[in-house]
Amino acid sequence: MRGPGRCPTCGGELEIRRLHCPDCQVSIEGKFSPCPFCRLDDGELHFVLTFLRTRGNIKEMERALGISYPTVRSRLGDILHLMGLGNGAQSEEEARLLKKEQRRLVLEQLERGEISAAEAAEQLHKIKSDWEESR
C-alpha cells in the first residue's frame, strides 16, 4: 500500500518519522523523505503511468488523456518539479500557450453547462492570478 506523500490538509510534503518491521518488531526512527513517486497524488501518478505507456509520445498522451499539447507539457513540468527532477520552468511562449489553453478549457466547460458563470469567473481569475504571480 502506498502512503500519502502530501498532507491532506495543507498539501505540504509529508516526512516519514518511523519505520517498523512487524516480523522482528524493530523500529527505526528518524527523518526520512518519501520516494519521488510517493510525492504524487493518484492523478499525477496516472499521468506518469500514461506517459510511460505511450513511451513519452506527447501526441499519444494528448489522445489518451483528452488534453492539449500545452496541458501535457505543463503537467509534465509540474510533475518533474514535484519529484525534484526539474525546476518546472517554462519558456515565455509555453506559459502564454498554457494560459490560453486553460482559459479555453474553462470557457468550453461553461458553454457545455458543466460549470456555472460564477465558477468560470473564479477559475479565470485564478488563471490570471497564477500568471501574474509567476511573472
Contact 98, 74 (CB under 8 A): yes
Does residue 80 sit in the same domain as residue 118? no
Does residue 44 sit in the same domain as residue 72? yes
Contact 90, 96 (CB under 8 A): no
Does residue 102 sit in the same domain as residue 125? yes
Region 92-103: what's the mean pLDDT? 75
Question: In angstroms, rounded to a whole number, what is the distance separating the alpha carbons of residues 66 and 52?
Answer: 16
Q: 17-31, 33-47, 63-77: which has the minimum mean pLDDT?
A: 33-47
Does residue 30 sit in the same domain as residue 6? yes
**Domain hosting residue 66, numbered range:** 40-89
Question: In angstroms, rounded to a whole number, what is the distance separating the alpha carbons of residues 6 and 67?
Answer: 25
Distances (CA, A) of 74 to 17, 78, 95, 97, 134: 32, 6, 8, 10, 13
CA atoms within 13 A on the CB side of 108: 7
Total number of domains constituting the chain? 3
Angle made by CA atoms 51, 106, 120, in degrees to the nearest 5: 140
Whether the pLDDT of residue 81 is over 70: the answer is yes
What is the model's pLDDT at position 35?
A: 75
Does residue 82 sit in the same domain as residue 56? yes
Does residue 98 sit in the same domain as residue 79? no
Does residue 68 sit in the same domain as residue 100? no
What is the model's pLDDT at position 96?
A: 74
Does residue 3 sit in the same domain as residue 17? yes
